[in-house]
Copies of this chain bind each other. A is one copy, B any other.
């Protein structure tokens, strides 16, 4: 039997960029959640015009469309839970269109990989700060759709702070531009602002204009070793409130330190309650020295037992090794890791971490924590034996309790991973009925037929 939808998509993108075979369906049914949802079609558009034609057709025929970058999201944003079309943007729409040195702006297609852009602009003396852990494979389109963060957010902010303008296709096929290559633009509603972090539910982003900075000439890293997690968390917020703004202020708790050490034998301080790893940057060596000194002071004031300064880039890399390998190392504690990215106001970090310890004790699950404490963002990892139904249930109960604590402390369910399907059940903890109704009205304003990435964000 002829599949008329499939035939139509082929007329738009060509026979070699439109598939419904098992290999493609398997290749585009997953993301970093390891959940699976099967598309009916996998389509690789070449440009905005093709995206527009496909969306218009799907809107008319009520076919679901899920835009997809690298599929590296942690909450199921790229999973086609209603089947339909996966619109895969990484194959053809992956070009850096312009690096405008005079205005310090880059214009890119959504499929450009974050690290490629960083490398390209750095070769010109410029700097694109957002550096999600997935930077080697995640795409700028995905970063914008989830509003990705990264280690440098403490000083430089997150993806949204760098998006100046977007082009996008609405579910009905309309092509819109939002924002300008200008620092200021207050004409019309801030459409770019609402497309960012909308997880592909409002429009398909086809072009992104990003602000660039000048690459700072100097940087230095350091590590503080703390007797307890409480002393480390106090040091974080007191340092940040002292007027110095490190690029990054990352932490590992004792469980995370031990995990990395047992796997890599780097001589880490396995008896420490926590370590903080930090980096500062600037255009003058004097400024670097000033910042490092200030951080050292604040760390010692808050009980640090040691403060190690990297004297060169090799030593810096050594200091960062623990942080960069924490995520993979903590799998030594169990077969399944339920990782979340809760975020609280920085001054609530001590309380958050002590409450997480209580949850760990209460449910008898271990919860290694590490993350971006400079901006209050903690990666909590509830570790369970995946094969044990009872333990899995306890793990999920522990997570629900951690979410409740986070909200009580004025925090958010997600600092950088988004909601997708994984956190959709918890939206009711964070938003009241009025707020959920408003989300649904906005979704309807953009996508009245609910064809674009349906089933996400508890809409």
Contacts and interface: CB of A to CB of B under 8 A. Distances in A.
> How many chain copies does the complex carry?
2
A421 B419 CA distance: 38
A346 B439 CA distance: 36
A436 to B, nearest CB: 8
5 contacts: A160-B193, A178-B435, A182-B343, A184-B412, A191-B438
Given A186-B416, A190-B196, 13 more contacts: A102-B347, A146-B186, A158-B184, A161-B161, A176-B435, A180-B343, A182-B344, A183-B343, A187-B418, A187-B419, A187-B430, A188-B427, A441-B446
B170 A438 contact: yes
A65 to B, nearest CB: 18
A351 to B, nearest CB: 12
A392 to B, nearest CB: 24
Contact of A241 (B102, B185, B245, B377): B102
Query: What is the size category of the interface that chain A forms with chain B?
Result: 35 or more
Given A149-B184, A182-B415, A187-B413, A286 B287 contact: yes
Contacts of A322: none
A418 B375 CA distance: 32
A111 to B, nearest CB: 21
Contact of A376 (B182, B245, B410): B182
Contacts of A244: 214, 283
Given A193-B194, A438-B191, A442-B442, A104 B177 contact: no
Contacts of A101: 241
A182 B435 CA distance: 19
A442 B185 CA distance: 18
A368 interface: no
A284 B291 CA distance: 10
Contacts of A170: 434, 438
A147 interface: yes
A189 B439 contact: yes
Nearest to A448: B441
Nearest to A216: B243
A138 interface: no
Contacts of A386: none
A303 B445 CA distance: 52
Interface in A406-442: 410-419, 423, 427, 430-432, 434-435, 437-439, 441-442
A416 B185 CA distance: 7
A197 B191 contact: no
